[in-house]
Amino acid sequence: MARKPAKANRRHPLATVVLIAIGLAFTGGGYALFTSTATAQTDTASSTSQSSVDEGKKLFAANCATCHGMSLEGSTAGPALLGVGAASVDFQVGTGRMPLAMQGPQAMEKPPQFTEEQTQALADYVASLSPGPAIPTDDQLTANGNATNGGELFRINCAMCHNVAGAGGALTEGKFAPSLTGVDSKYIYEAMLTGPQNMPVFNDHNITPEDKRDIITYLKYIQNNDSTGGYDLGNLGPVAEGLFIWIFGIGAVVALTVWLTAKSN
Amino acid sequence: MTTIERSDTPHEVVDPAFAEAPKLAATPSSRFTAAAANYIDERTSISAVVKEFGRKIFPDHWSFMLGEVALYSFVVIILTGTFLTFFFQASMAPVIYSGPFVPLKGVEMSSAMDSALKISFEIRGGLLIRQIHHWAALLFIASIGMHMLRIFFTGAFRKPRELNWTIGFLLFILALAEGFTGYSLPDDLLSGNGLRIIDGMVKGIPFVGTWISYLIFGGEFPGQQIVGRLYTLHILLLPAIIVAMIALHLVFVVVHKHTQYAGPGKSNENVIGYPVLPVYAAKAGGFFFIVFGVIALIASFFQINPIWNYGPYDPSPVSAGTQPDWYIGFADGALRLIPPGLESVIWGHTYSWNILIPIVVLGLFISIVALYPLVEGWVTGDKREHHILDRPRNAPTRTAIGAAGVTFYAALWAAASSDLIATHFQLSIEAVIHTIQATAILGPIIAYFIAKRVCLALQKKDREIALHGFESGRIVRLPGGEYIEVHQQVDDYERWRLVTFNEYKPLMIRPNAKGKITQTQRLRARMSRWFFEDRIAPVTKTELERQSHDHH
């Protein structure tokens, strides 16, 4: 408005613009930082190494594109991967489930085909094309949460397929919920976040990151503490116990009766 | 036909091997024992009892000890169960867990679950006793099952022991009830899910189901009552009935005297074996500790029912791998095998056939088990007493019926673990269920025919061996150029074992006193034909003599 004498102006004409820009950058950056750490990390991870994305693109074209399409659009042989995020790629490739050895009811776990760098490259590439859940950071995975809360959440949300002790269980048509014993915390977290195979998605609104950490804490607690009362027979419940008593209990007792009634020589 | 009535029970004969044992010389300590014994006898006249009971003869065979295993497991259950009652709180009042098991700290649960956890983690030796109790319960019912199979396949249920079979059968049912009530007491997730299935089955009964369910649970499931009620049954009523029935069962064993397998010197009129005092009492006493030891060993090294993993009961979660203990498995399997969605609504009432059919089928199955001795007795028309056991092959139809029953039971039993079969063998659960459905229906039929043919073939082989002996493998060329294989004759003892068995022939239809042939008669004749049409006659004396003439 008042732009009369240029000398009287102590500020540069663009100072206001710069100030607004700085203010916006602070609020926006802060907002981004505080609200969605995950998305922010995707951005930094993908932006930090363009070479990783390029490497991932090559690997994807050579190993995944036959089924999932050159631009993640999917085909009759495999689903589209747009929006699955780095977490999904890291879970599927990192546990060896992808690439598939063969079509079947469900992708089977096997020794991973790719190195960690290659898996990361594939994840970076898929994440670079469309947004999706990122690979969890180490502080989300520390097993120092509340085991009680984790146990309750596990029994309510997970045990009907994975069994109360995480020993796994059957689903329909040959599909199954795998055993969770010895599974890396990262993969447990990613599975909850992305819902691989037949598993439902437990997003952060459904089970918060703290709750997810609690569940991991509970699983690690029951796995790291020796099973109370002796060998757990695979944590399979009464079926394993029944088989045991019929084979070893009755077996031992019958052997002893035979010994007791044997004619002395 | 004529039946020979023999009301006299067999007399008992001490095994000659034992009878020849040298008498011990009198020593000062034995003189003291004699004086003490005399003191007691003069005041209680117990010598009559000892004389009678101490000289009871028990024949020696491993399969005769299976019932003993059941008895000793039961004693172990009573001992450990008493310990557990000192600490268990049969109440469903809610408490907040504050014990040492970290993942349950602060969780609300019933006092029953809380005290069961306290027994497991805080009471000294509590977990071991709990595990002994549970493992002993599994062994108890498993050994009852083995004992029943032994009795069935050897025909030990025949006259005069039919009533004792019924008592044994009731003991089996009571043991199942004891097992199930015990499984339900800790009020953990697994036991609550088991009770929910029972609740569902009860509610599936038309008209009265809901009323009965409310009566059992004192309101809507799960309510606040059920653990207390099951506890009363589990530690008071059922054990009392079981102890009384065991006593009756054993009294009958003494009254009837023990059965024995056919063998040299053994007949329907005697029992050959060792006397209770001193041999059998020592053996049986030792065997008790052996059984206790086996159970304790298993309980020390193998976890059973980790209730802390299951957490407190909450009607919403159901864990994968939720199964009853093995002995209820056949009932669970029946529910899994029945095709889903079988129900109809008639006059505003829902009939859940997927619950009613399993209940009826299982009811029929256990009724057949309970009544089989009466059925077989009626079909054979045999009123004689039998103290010599059958070899299973010598009663082909009975053995075949038993094989069919075992197959049916096994199919239902396997169905209860259909989910674990599917995951562990990487099969689809539908394929597993459909295969077991087919097995439950066709399996018994196939098993029946296979078992019957195997029995008849074995009988033929026995007959062949009794008449011609074993093929020795020694080929001899006769002077005339002919080759023969020398057969080695079995000795007389062995031959006796092979030829001693009852032969039954199908009954003829005969008119009754009024000169009429009744429908019952016809049915009986048909049943008899079914039992005995295919048979191998035992080798007769004439055949044996003729045979020995030919070969000498």
pLDDT digits (tens, 9 = 90+) for B86-108: 999 999 999 999 999 999 999 99
Mean per-residue pLDDT pooled into runs of 10, chain B (552 residues): 48 72 69 90 88 84 94 97 96 94 93 96 95 97 97 94 95 96 95 93 91 94 93 96 96 90 84 84 92 96 94 90 92 93 87 93 96 93 90 93 97 94 92 96 97 95 88 90 88 84 83 85 90 87 76 50
Q: Do A160 and B69 touch (CB under 8 A)?
A: no
Residue A33 lies in a domain: no
pLDDT, tens only, B55-74: 888 888 999 999 999 999 99
Q: Do A238 and B131 touch (CB under 8 A)?
A: no
Residue A22 lies in a domain: no
Do both A214 and A166 map to the same domain? yes
Contacts of B294 in chain A (CB under 8 A): 249, 252-253, 256
Do both A105 and A142 map to the same domain? no
Q: What pLDDT does residue B4 have?
A: 39
Do both A111 and A153 map to the same domain? no
Q: Do A229 and B127 touch (CB under 8 A)?
A: yes
Q: Spell out the domain ranges in chain B.
A: 57-318, 391-552
Residue A241 lies in a domain: no
Q: Which helix (H) or strand (E) holds B351?
A: strand B349-352
Alpha carbon separation from B532 to B262, B395, B455, B537 (Å, rounded): 21, 9, 13, 11
Annotated binding residue at A255? no
Q: Is A165 on the interface with B (CB under 8 A)?
A: yes
Do both A89 and A166 map to the same domain? no
Contacts of B61 in chain A (CB under 8 A): 261
Q: Do A238 and B317 touch (CB under 8 A)?
A: no
Using an 8 Å Cβ cutoff, are B232 and B390 in contact? no
Do both A153 and A192 map to the same domain? yes
Classify domain B57-318 at the CATH topology level.
Answer: Cytochrome Bc1 Complex; Chain C (1.20.810)
> CA B127, B131, B132: angle at the middle one, nearest 5?
115
Whose tokens are 């069994």? That residue is: A163
Domain boundary among A78, A100, A129: A129
Segment 8-67 of chain A within 8 Å of chain B by CB: none
Using an 8 Å Cβ cutoff, are B282 and A203 in contact? no
Q: Nearest by CB to A159, which of B128, B131, B317?
A: B317
- Domain housing A82: 42-129
Q: Do A249 and B138 touch (CB under 8 A)?
A: yes
Q: Do A174 and B429 touch (CB under 8 A)?
A: yes
Q: What pLDDT does residue A45 have?
A: 46
Do both A119 and A150 map to the same domain? no
Digitized pLDDT (tens) for each residue of chain A, 265 residues in all = 455 555 555 677 788 888 888 888 888 777 666 655 444 444 444 444 788 888 999 999 999 999 999 888 999 988 999 989 999 999 999 999 989 988 888 898 999 999 999 999 999 999 998 888 989 988 888 888 899 999 999 999 999 999 998 999 999 888 999 999 989 999 999 999 999 988 999 989 999 999 999 999 999 998 888 788 899 898 888 999 999 999 999 999 999 999 988 876 6
Do both A177 and A98 map to the same domain? no
Secondary structure of residue B552 in the 3-state scheme: coil
Do both A150 and A109 map to the same domain? no
DSSP A67-101: HH-TTS--BTTB---TT-HHHHHHHHHHTT-SS-S
Q: Do A260 and B120 touch (CB under 8 A)?
A: no
Mutate to test the interface with A, among B18, B58, B61, B62 (most CBs of A within 10 A): B62
Residue A242 lies in a domain: no
For residue B143, the distance in angstroms to the closest alpha carbon of chain A comes to 7
Residue A192 lies in a domain: yes
For residue A196, the distance in angstroms to the closest alpha carbon of chain B comes to 18
Residue A94 lies in a domain: yes
The mean pLDDT of chain B is 90
Q: Nearest by CB to B427, which of A174, A232, A236?
A: A174
Q: Give the CATH number for residue A80.
A: 1.10.760.10
Alpha carbon separation from B132 to B80, B190, B296, B547 (Å, rounded): 7, 19, 6, 59
Number of domain units in chain A = 2
Residue A234 lies in a domain: no
